[in-house]
Chains A and B, each alone.
Chain A
Amino acid sequence: MSDETQTQAQTEGETGAELEARAEAILRAGPRRVLVAGARRKIAVELIALLLSDPRVDKVLAVAQGPCPPGLMGHDPRRFMYHQAGLARRRQVDNLFLFEEFREHPLDTVVHLAFAGNPKGYDASRHEYNVNAARHLLDAALRHGIGKYVFLSSDAVYAVGPRGDFKVSEDAALNLDPEVSATVRDIIDAEFLCRAKMDHAGCEVMVLRPAGVVGGGVSSGLNLLFESNPPVLPIGFDPMINPTTKERLARDLALALMVHGKGLYNVAGPSAGPLTRFLEARGVTPMRVPGPLLRSTNRLQRMVGQTRYHAEYQPKRLFYSLVLDDSRFEADFRRHAALVAVGGSQGAVDEPFA
C-alpha cells in the first residue's frame, strides 16, 4: 500500500482490512484482459503503456487497421498482441474475441478508440468505419461476455453558442444542427449505439467525452489549432476551455477500466481559462482575423500547409466557451485513484494511476 493511501486511510479511520474491503467493492475483480481498438492513435499508445505497467493487467490485445506503430513494438509479447483488422467488418470484429490466447482466459474489457475524426475526404466508408465499428464491437462484446466496454467520444458532440453554460454537464444539449460536420454526426451516432445498451446487465457500458487534448502530437482539433503556424482566431472572442492532456486522458481511461461504473461521463483537464492564456503558456502568438473571414483564412492556411486544423469541424468553437464539467467522473472514478494504485504498486511499477 502506498504511503499516500495509508495516510488517507488513517485519516478516515480505516484499517488496512477495511481499505482492502472497500477496494474490492469499488474495483473490478480479477486480472484485466483488454482489447484496445484503434491502437494507432497516440492516446491508445499511451493507454497501452500505462496498462502494461500495471501487473493486474494480464494481456492487452491492440487492434487497428495498418501496421503496428513503433511506440507499441517494445512491449512484452507475452502480455501484448497487435492485430490488424477491419473494424467495419462484423466477421473480423467477431474473430478478435476468438484468439487461442484468450480461450482459457477470455477478454473482459473493450476500449473503443477507433474513430476517424479528420473531416478531410469524408465518405461512406469513413461513416461505416466510425459507426459500424462501434456497433460491431459492442455487439460482439456483449455476445462474448465482456464486463466493461468504454467508448471514447468527444466534446464536439455538445452544442456551442452564446447561450452556453459556464460548465457543460453530461445532460447538456447535443449539436444536432443539420449543418454539423459528418464526423460529429458519426460520434453522436456511435454514442447513441452505446447508450442504447447501457442498461445491459452483464456489461458496464461507458462513454467518455473528453475535452480537447493539447500536446503530445495528438490529432485533436484543439492540438491541431495549437500546432498551426500561426493559430488563427476571430477578433474579439476568447472562449474559455479546460483542455486535458494525453497522459491525463490515458489515466482517466485506465481508471474507467479498473473501477466499477457505467454511463456517460465528461473528462477534462484540471484547470480552465481563456484559450489565449493556454496559447500564451506555450509561447504561441495567435493571428486575429474578423470572424466571418475565419473559415476562408483557415482554408488558405491548410492549402499552404500552415495548419491541419479544420475550422469547419466545430465552427463555433473558437467563438464560444466550452468548459466540461467532469465532477461526476471525479466523484465516481478519480476519487478512487489511490485505491487503484494500491494494487498497481504491488508490481514493478509504482502507482501508475495516482
Chain B
Amino acid sequence: MVTPRLDLVRTLLPERERERVEAYVLDDAGHGTDVFGTTVDGLGNAYALAYWLHRYYFRVVSAGHENVPLDSAGVVVGNHSGVLPFDGVMVTTDVFRHMDPPRLVRFMVDFFVYSMPVVGTLFRSLGQIPGTRRNFDGLIEEGHLVGIFPEGADALGKPMEDRYQLFPFSHGHAELAARHGVPVIPFGVVGAEEQQAVISNMEPLARAFGLPFVPLTRTFPLFGPLGLLPKPVRYYIHYGPPLTIDPAALRSVEVRAREVERVREAVNAQIELGLEVRRRAEGGRA
C-alpha cells in the first residue's frame, strides 16, 4: 500500500520558514504531541499550505503584531465570516509568521467539528481544541494565545447584506479573561466577508445534519463541495491594543456586558481600520 508523503508539503515553505517551524517549542506529553494533541508534523504541514495561502492566495496585509504578547497568555478576539473558517487559519498563520519566536493561536472550536471524521483529528493536531471552559483554562494556564470568535459559528453564514456588521458577542471570553487576568487582543479581518457571497441559510438541511448552517451561495451547492472554496480576495488583518478586562466583570452582569461591548467596539474599530486601509490601497473600494 502506498503511504502518502505528507511531509513533502513542507517543500512549499522557504528555508527560513521551515526553520521557524522547527523552532516552535512543543511541550511533548510523551508521544510526540502536547497534551492537547498538537503535533509538530501536523503544524509544519499545515503551515506550509497555510503559508502559501497567506502569501499568494489571500495576499494578507497585516499590522499591529506588536500588540500580541510575545511570550505570555492572551485572548485573541475578532470577527468571523466566510462560510469556511479561512479567517481563523489566516490569523493563526499571520501570528505564527510575524512573531519571533513563532506563536500559535489556538482557537476555541465549535464541538460539531470534532464529531466529523478526519476534520476533528486534523484540527486537534493543529492545536485547535473544543471550546470548553476547562480547555480554555488549560491553555491560558500554560501561557498560550487563545483565539475566540465570540460571534459563534453562525457568523460564518453571515449573509451579504450583513457584511462587516458584527453579530452580538457571547460573554465567555470577557469572563474568562477577567478570571485569569489576561489581556484581550482585538483583531479585525477584512476580506473574508467577500470570499463567499452567502445568499441564504438552508436551515432545514442544517438541522438535519446537525450543523450550525448550510449556506446557499452563488457557487454552492451548484458546484458541489468545490463551490465552498473561497475567492482569492485580499485579507487585511489588524490587531488592536490589548484590553484589560475589569475584574468586576466576574461579580456583575452589567459590568461584564459593558466589558463585552468594549471588546466588540475595539474589534469594530479594527474592522473600520482595515476597510480604510483597503480603500486607500485598492482605490476607493470600501
- What's the dominant secondary structure at chain A's contact region? loop
Query: Shortest beta-carbon distance, B214 to chain A, in Å?
Result: 19
Q: Complex formed: what's the CA distance from A290 to B118 in Å?
A: 11
Does any Cβ of A come within 8 Å of B138's Cβ?
yes
Assess whether B111 is in contact with A162, with CB atoms less than 8 Å apart.
Answer: yes
Does any Cβ of A come within 8 Å of B67's Cβ?
no
Does any Cβ of B come within 8 Å of A273's Cβ?
yes
Assess whether A240 is in contact with B117, with CB atoms less than 8 Å apart.
Answer: no
Query: Shortest beta-carbon distance, A331 to chain B, in Å?
Result: 15
Does any Cβ of A come within 8 Å of B4's Cβ?
no
Per-residue CB contact flags for chain B residues 83-124 toward chain A (1 = under 8 Å, else 0) read: 000000000000000000000000000011111111111001
Query: Shortest beta-carbon distance, B3 to chain A, in Å?
Result: 12
Given contacts A162-B130, A164-B130, A165-B135, contact A272 B30 (CB under 8 A): yes
Kindly specify which of B12-20, B33-41, B179-187 makes contact with the partner chain. Answer: B33-41
Per-residue CB contact flags for chain A residues 264-293 toward chain B (1 = under 8 Å, else 0) read: 000000111110011001000000001100
Per-residue CB contact flags for chain B residues 31-64 toward chain A (1 = under 8 Å, else 0) read: 1110111000000000000000000000000000
Name the B residues within 8 Å of A236 (CB-CB): 116-121
Assess whether A281 is in contact with B121, with CB atoms less than 8 Å apart.
Answer: no
Query: Shortest beta-carbon distance, A33 to chain B, in Å?
Result: 38
Name the B residues within 8 Å of A235 (CB-CB): 117-118
Name the A residues within 8 Å of B117 (CB-CB): 234-237, 290-291
Does any Cβ of B come within 8 Å of A320's Cβ?
yes
Does any Cβ of A come within 8 Å of B132's Cβ?
yes
Q: Complex formed: what's the CA distance from A166 to B36 in Å?
A: 6
Does any Cβ of A come within 8 Å of B266's Cβ?
no
Q: Complex formed: what's the CA distance from A23 to B117 in Å?
A: 51
Count of chain B residues near A, Cβ 8 A: 26
Assess whether B37 is in contact with A240, with CB atoms less than 8 Å apart.
Answer: yes
Assess whether A237 is in contact with B33, with CB atoms less than 8 Å apart.
Answer: no
Interface bin, chain A: 20 to 34
Name the B residues within 8 Å of A238 (CB-CB): 121
- Nearest opposing residue in chain B for A164, CB measure: B130
Assess whether A277 is in contact with B35, with CB atoms less than 8 Å apart.
Answer: no
Given contacts A272-B31, A273-B31, contact A162 B120 (CB under 8 A): yes
From 2 to 51 in chain A, residues with beta carbon under 8 angstroms from any chain B beta carbon are none
Given contacts A162-B130, A236-B117, A236-B121, contact A278 B138 (CB under 8 A): no
Does any Cβ of A come within 8 Å of B5's Cβ?
no
Does any Cβ of B come within 8 Å of A223's Cβ?
no
Does any Cβ of A come within 8 Å of B129's Cβ?
yes
Q: Complex formed: what's the CA distance from A240 to B124 in Å?
A: 10
Q: Complex formed: what's the CA distance from A278 to B33 in Å?
A: 12
Q: Complex formed: what's the CA distance from A270 to B35 in Å?
A: 11
Q: Complex formed: what's the CA distance from A236 to B138 in Å?
A: 25
From 142 to 171 in chain A, residues with beta carbon under 8 angstroms from any chain B beta carbon are 161-167, 169
Q: Complex formed: what's the CA distance from A290 to B31 in Å?
A: 25
Query: What would 19 A/B residue contacts be, using CB atoms closer than 8 Å?
Result: A162-B112, A163-B130, A164-B114, A164-B130, A165-B134, A165-B135, A165-B138, A166-B36, A166-B134, A167-B138, A234-B117, A235-B117, A238-B121, A271-B30, A271-B31, A277-B31, A291-B117, A319-B115, A320-B114
Going nearest first, the 10 A-B pairs with the smallest beta carbon separation are A271-B30, A236-B117, A273-B31, A162-B114, A236-B118, A165-B134, A277-B31, A272-B29, A162-B115, A162-B111
